Each structure stands twice: as C-alpha cells, then as structure tokens.
Amino acid sequence: AELIVGDNPASVAYLQRRFGDMMRATSDAEALAGKRTLTQDGMITQSGEYDRIKPTLLANLKIGAGDDSQREALSNEISHLKATIKGYTAKLETIKALIGNLQRISSEEALKYMLDAYDEMHTARNTATSLRARLNDSADVEYVRLNNVVAELELQVNKLTSQVNEWQINIGRAEEKLKQCNNQVAEARNRWDLAQKDFKEIEGNDAYDRDFASRQWDALLEKFDEQYVLMKEHCVKQRSASNAEMTNAINRGSKEVGTFREKYREQGVIGADDWRKDREWIGDLLKRLRDTDLVEQDAKMKEAYKASQDTFRADVAIALSNNIDHLEKSMNRLNHVLNTCPVFSNGERYRFTRTVRPQ
C-alpha cells in the first residue's frame, strides 16, 4: 500500500485502505510466496489461488479530479458508444424487417423449422458460454504452466540465438557467393554467345579452311587435352606469330604489286590498302589475259616466230652465200698473186685452198 502515491489525498487514502497488506509481485515465485500479492498484469494471489482483475477503463474511474487524459478517454468512449448505438440501430432495423417478413410466413412447417434452428443455435451458444467459463476457471493453473514453458523456451531460444546468428551470417555469405557465381555464369554465357557468333561468321568466310581448322583442333587436343588455359595461351602466341607473318607477307605482296604496276604500267585498284582487293584485281587480270588477250597474242606470237625463222634462214643463207662468193674471189686473187710471185728460198710456193662439202 505504501507504493500508492498521487496528488489527490482522498484517492490515495481510499486505495491504501483497499489494498491494505497486499504486496506487489514481479514474478510467479514472488506471487506464490506472499500471502496477498498483485502482479503487474492484474493477477491477485490469495492463499495460493489466482484471481484475475479485469482492467478498468480510464473513463470508468470514479475517483480523481478528471485531467485532460481522462476527458480525452471519455470523448473516445462516447464516440465508441455512439458508433455502437448506430450499429445496434442498424441491426434493430434489420430485425424489424426480418420480423415483418416472418409475419408474412403462414406455413407452420417453415415456422417450426425456424424455431428448431433457433433452439439449436441457443443451445450451441449456451454450450460455448459454459466451455468458456470452464476455460477461464482453469486458466490460472494453465497460466503458471505456460509461464514455466515460456521460461524454458526462452532459455532454449537464448542458446540457439548465437547458432542462428552464425547460420544467418553463413547464409548471407552463401547468398553473396551464389550471386557472384550467377554473375560469372552470366558473363561466361555472354562470352560463349559472342564466341559462337564469331565462329559462325568465320565459318561463313570464303577464306575459311574447314579441313585445316579440324587438323589444328585435333593437334591442340592431342597436345593439351582438357587444359584449356594452356591451350588458350598457345593459341594466342600462334595468333601473334601468324599476324606478324601475315603482315610481312602483305608488305612483300604490296611491294611486288607496286613493282608490277610500275613495270607494266597498270593502274590497279585506286586508293585501296586492302591486299584482298589487290589479290582480286590480280586474279581478274590473269583471267582476262588467259581467256582473251593471251590466246590471240599466242597465235600472233607463233606466226611471228615462224616468220622470223623463215626470214632468219633466208637472210642467213643469202649472207652466207654472198660471203662464200666473196671469200672465193678473195682466195682466187690471193692465189693469183702468189703464183706470180717468185718462189721462196727453198723453192716452195704457197696457195689458199678450200674443200666444198656436198649438200
């Protein structure tokens, strides 16, 4: 009772007389240990028995000067009661309408059916009320048992809290790892799609050699098996070497094409820096020469060659004949001179001779 304090002396004195030797209890053990105790949730214990006190609405308090909070509570209660009256009024109108409808029912069988249904409903309501009362009577013992169960469960919850927290941390890490893995899978799938797209474009290229690619792939599998990282590094090195070799070949080819254009005064492809266009131009030029110009020039060349042979033979024969005649005349003149000359010291004479071979 000494815990009761307030601004109104009359109210404080009244409550102290009412509670007398009653003590406040904060736990079930304190409530059961005292002679008369009052728990914080409104349970009065007397001689080991519990008595539940229904909390009094603030608007129903009879003692006190009536502060602002009480007036506010009364206003809220008035609003609630007005709403309740309105609801009951609507129900009353519904009941009146129902009574009017029932008065128009003349069949005794229908009335009997409705009365029986009402009796069954009334019996069920009484049964529910009885069961509710029995439940309230046994609530005190059940309340103590439930409190003990709650205490045990709280101990178990405290023990499991740390483990649950650890599991939650692990779950968070696993979810983050799963998210990273999903991102990696999505990235790998995108790279795979791009690789497939590039591969299809390469296969559609006219310069793609399927047999060569198949042989190279078999060689890679034989050398590296499933070591795809090493396989990739090897392919990157081979690509660099092939690019360097291709660049050198393009430079040499461009130089040769330039020399060819300058030597044969060919214009070629104007403003083209692509060796493929130069290759196409050379191919077209060779095809045109083989299919048209070279055929005509070959016949002319053979005709000119035959004419040159005939001309050469005729000119050579005439020249040889003239030279032989001139040589014969020269030899005759020399021999005539030698015959008219005196003999040498030993009486010898010299002359030029020739032997004519039969044809």
pLDDT digits (tens, 9 = 90+) for 322-350: 888 888 888 888 888 888 888 777 878 88
Give, as one character, the DSSP assignment of residue 271: T
Q: For residue range 127-179, what is the model confidence (pLDDT) as tens digits?
A: 767 666 655 555 455 555 666 777 788 788 777 777 777 777 888 888 888 99
Number of structural domains found in the chain = 1
Stretch 305-332: mean pLDDT, rounded? 84
Choose between 52 and 301: higher pLDDT: 301
**End-to-end CA, the chain:** 170
Task: Answer yes or no: is 39 within a domain.
Answer: yes
Choose between 132 and 275: higher pLDDT: 275
**Per-residue pLDDT band at 183 (split at 50, 70, 90):** very high
Count other Cβ atoms within 10 Å, centred on residue 280: 13
Task: Answer yes or no: is 17 within a domain.
Answer: yes
Tell me the residue range of the domain where 39 lies.
Answer: 1-55
Task: Answer yes or no: is 337 within a domain.
Answer: no
Task: Answer yes or no: is 22 within a domain.
Answer: yes
Is 59's pLDDT higher than 60?
Answer: no
Stretch 200-223: mean pLDDT, rounded? 82
What angle (nearest 5°) sits at the alpha carbon of residue 306, between those of residues 302 and 310?
170
CA distances from 211 to 201, 205, 214, 216, 339 (A): 17, 14, 5, 9, 90
CA distance 140 to 138: 6
Task: Answer yes or no: is 38 within a domain.
Answer: yes
Question: What 3-state DSSP class applies to 304?
Answer: helix
Supply 354's token pair.
Answer: 């020739």
CA distance 195 to 175: 30
Choose between 180 and 61: higher pLDDT: 180
Task: Answer yes or no: is 20 within a domain.
Answer: yes
Supply 238's token pair.
Answer: 């081979």
Residue with tokens 């020249």, as numbered in its chain: 319
